[in-house]
Amino acid sequence: MIDRPDPTPSAARVSCGNPSPAPACSGGPSVPPPPDPRRTALEKLPRALDLPGDFTSLTPTARLAALLALPDPGKVVRRLRADEFYQLINGIGLEDAHGLLPYGTSEQRKAYVDIDAWSGWRFQPRRLDRILEVAREVSSDFAMRLLNDLDPEVIALRLMTATSEVLTTDEVEARGLPDEGVVGTPDGTFMLICKDPEDIEVMRRWLDLLYAWDQDETYRILHALRRETLASLEEDSFRFRDARLQDLGFPGAAERFAIFEPFDRTPLRERLKEGGTSAARPSGPLPLALSLAGTDRGLFFWTALEALADSPRLPIFITDLLYLVNRVLGVRTDDWFESEEWTESAAQVLRWVSVGLEDLSAGDTEEAARIATLSSPVELFRAGVEALRPAHIRARKVVAEAGGTANLRRFDEPTAAMLQALASFPPKVADEADPHLPRDPRSMADVARAERVSLAAEVVARFARQALGFDPSAAAPGTGPSFATVVATAWARGVLSGAPSLEPLSGDELQSLRAVAFEGARIRPALRRPAMTATATPTAEELAIREFLGSALDKVEETLGGLDPAVPVDLRFVGDALIVK
C-alpha cells in the first residue's frame, strides 16, 4: 500500500461557464401515444431535479441538450446519485458529455472511475487512459483535479501495468540499457522501462501530467513502484474501490448471490398485516431512475407504484430500488461498462419485485398499493423469487432423477424447456410463445404455469419409475424412449395381454392393437377410460397423470388411427409413439 500524506495537496479548481441554452425541440406525433403506466410516478423524479418530466425517455443527445440548457447545470449534476452520474455520462458517451464531468463532485468522479476502469477483479488500464485523455481535453487543470480524485494506488497500478521496472537514471546507465522503450521523468530522476512500445507515448503523457499535478506525490508513487508488486497494488486498489461501491448497493464478492438465497416470507407477511414499515435508508442524493426508462410497461408493479406518486416516500422507495438494481447487476456481470446491462438488470429487478408484490397482495391492486408503502424493494424482490422456489426445487429434483438435463428430452419439448429454465440459477420460466427462450417471470400467472408443468413432470416421472419400472437414467444421456412412449407402451401391452409391460411391440402386435383397441380412427372409449378415470375430487397429482396419459394416447391415436387394420404396420412410421422392436 502506498503511504498517503496528510493533507493531500489540492488541485487547481476549474471554472466552467454556462453554455447558451439549446433550442427547445418541437413537433411530435399527431396522435398521442397510449398512456404509459410508469409515467405518473417516475416523471416526478426528474422534475424534483428541475429537469423535464420526460427526461429519462429522451435520446442521449436530447438529455445533454436539456442539461446544458439549464441556468445552472452543475447544481443539478451535483445532486445526482454517483451511480446515476456514471449512467448519465456513459449513456450520452464520454466524449460527447465530457463537458459535464467538471460539474460533478469528487465522489461522483471517483464512482465513475470505480465503475468504468474495472471488470470484476481486473483493472482495465486503457479505460482509465481514456477518462484521463477526455479530462485533458476539458483542461489541464481539470485533468489534475481528476488525478486528485484517484487513489494513489490506482495511479501506481496504471504505471505498473505498462512498465517492467522503474529505475533511477544512474541505474539505467550502470546497466547500459538501450534507449528504446525507456521513458524518463521530466526532471530526469527516474526511468520507466515500458513493456509495450505502444505504452511509451501514454506513459510520457501520464508523467508530464503527474509532475504538473504534484511532484512530491509522484515521487512517492514512483518509489512505491520500485518495491510493490502488480498483484498487491491491484488487490489494494480493488479493496478501496469495492468498499466504495458497496455503499452504492453493489454486492461484495462474498455476498454476490445472497439476494437469491431462501427467504422466509412469514415475518414479512405478519409485519405487513400489522402495518409496520421496513427500515428505510437515510435520505441522500435524489434518484433520477435512468435505468428504469426502458423496462416493461405491463407489470403489476406499476399499478401499485401509483400509490406512491404523491407520497414523500417515492424518492426513498426508488432510491432503494436503484440500490437493488446495482446489486443484481453485480450478479449478472462482472463488467458494468455496458449501459445495456443496467437496463437489463433493472428489468430483471422489476419483474421479480412485481411477482413478489402480486403474490403478497393476492393480486389486489389496493392491497398492493398499501404494501408498496410499507415494504422495501429488496423484500418484494426476494418474495418474488420465493414464489417460484417450489417449482425451481421440484425441477432440479426431476432433472437429477432423470439423469441430467440431456434426459429432459424424455418429456415433450415445452415441458423440457420449462424444466431446464426452472432448474437454472437464478430460476427462469420458459416463454409460452417460444419455449426455448427462458425469461424472468412477469406475473403470478407465470409462476402458476411453472408450478403446473413442474408438478406434472415430477408426477409422471415418478409414475413411470414406480408403477412401470422405467429408469430414465439407465440409458445413455439423450437416448432412450420418452415418458409418453413408455406409458403408451405399457397401456398397449395391457390391452393386448392384460399385463402392462415395456416389452417392445412387433409389427404384428401393432396390427392387433389397431384392430382391438380402435373404433374407426379413434381409440375405443372403454379402453381410454382407465386413463381418464379418477376420484370425484381428483388431486393435483391425479389430474396431472390423467392429462399425461390422455396426451400419450392421443399420440398413439394420431399414429395408428389412419392405418388400415388389414395391412401390416410398417414400424418405420410408428415414430416414438410406442416402443417397437
Q: Which is nearest to 350 in space by CA: 422, 297, 424?
A: 297
Q: Which is nearest to 328 in space by CA: 344, 305, 339, 315?
A: 344
- Rounded to an integer, what distance in angstroms lies between the CA atom of residue 492 and that of residue 569? 15
Q: Quick one: average pLDDT of 192-211?
A: 94
Domain boundaries, the chain: 258-383, 388-466, 483-573
Q: Quick one: average pLDDT of 456-481?
A: 84
Residue 320 vs residues 291, 311, 441, 482: alpha-carbon distances, Å: 13, 15, 21, 48
pLDDT score at 325: 96
Reported as a single tens digit per residue, the pLDDT across 28-56 is: 455 566 556 566 788 889 998 899 999 99
Label residue 576 by pLDDT band (50, 70, 90): confident
pLDDT score at 37: 58
Q: From the CB of residue 432, how many other CB atoms can be counted at a distance below 10 Å? A: 12
Name the percent of the chain lying above pLDDT 70: 91
pLDDT score at 388: 97
Q: Which long-range contacts (CB under 8 A, 24 or more apart) does 347-351 make?
A: 347/294, 347/295, 347/296, 347/440, 348/440, 349/321, 349/324, 349/325, 349/377, 349/381, 350/292, 350/295, 350/296, 350/299, 350/301, 351/296, 351/299, 351/384, 351/440, 351/441, 351/442
- Rounded to an integer, what distance in angstroms lies between the CA atom of residue 37 and that of residue 35? 6
Reported as a single tens digit per residue, the pLDDT across 354-400 is: 999 999 999 998 899 899 889 999 999 999 999 999 999 999 999 99
Label residue 17 by pLDDT band (50, 70, 90): very low
CA angle 55, 66, 82 (to 5 degrees): 65
Reported as a single tens digit per residue, the pLDDT across 418-431 is: 999 999 999 999 99
Reported as a single tens digit per residue, the pLDDT across 282-322 is: 567 889 999 998 777 789 999 888 878 888 888 889 999 99
Reported as a single tens digit per residue, the pLDDT across 517-545 is: 999 999 998 888 655 555 567 777 778 88
pLDDT score at 535: 55
Q: Quick one: average pLDDT of 86-106?
A: 94
pLDDT averaged over the chain? 87
Label residue 25 by pLDDT band (50, 70, 90): very low
pLDDT score at 571: 85
Q: Quick one: average pLDDT of 129-152?
A: 96
- Rounded to an integer, what distance in angstroms lies between the CA atom of residue 459 and that of residue 207? 70
